[in-house]
Amino acid sequence: MPPCVFCVAAERVATATVRRVVPGLDELMGLALEEAAAAPAHGDVPIGAVVVGPDGAVIAGRHNERELHGDPTAHAELLALRDAAAHLGGWRLEGCVLVSTIEPCPMCAGAALAARITTVVFGAPDPKAGACGSLYNLGADSRLNHTMAIVPGVREAEAATLIRQFFAERRSPAEP
């Protein structure tokens, strides 16, 4: 099966260390941002993720549901990976792209590696828990049995604003 067009282009971007995004990634991040916007309705942090299949079609999209289900593993990326695996009928997501509004944490980056995701695209970095370049770079660790291309900074300002606004609203004093 030939690699998807987003994967090939994203790998070129990552290899060239150029931060310019591939056509189509802005739109995919828009879908992830839409997912993220649904999370605060049930008290969850607004993080969204989509998975794009090898043919370039979106096969899964989710947002955080930790508070909704009381599940510490219900991160948007993990839920989207589960849905993508169910859609494709197997755990190997080779040729797929994971698009997340925020840099994946160690759990989510590890799950992407285990699923054989080809490329991870994210919006805003996570300096406290990021595992795709900020604190760790699991996608580029040659000691692991799989590596992933990482494309940071797609619609970064929008993703960061969504998170900042969420926490600002939660920390502000309640109005009488």
Annotated catalytic sites, by residue? 77
C-alpha distances (whole Å) from 53 to each of 38, 83, 88, 115, 119 are: 23, 12, 9, 13, 11
Cα separation, 76 vs 153, in Å, equals 18
Long-range contacts of 55-58 (CB under 8 A, 24+ apart): 55/4, 56/4, 56/5, 56/6, 56/24, 58/28, 58/31
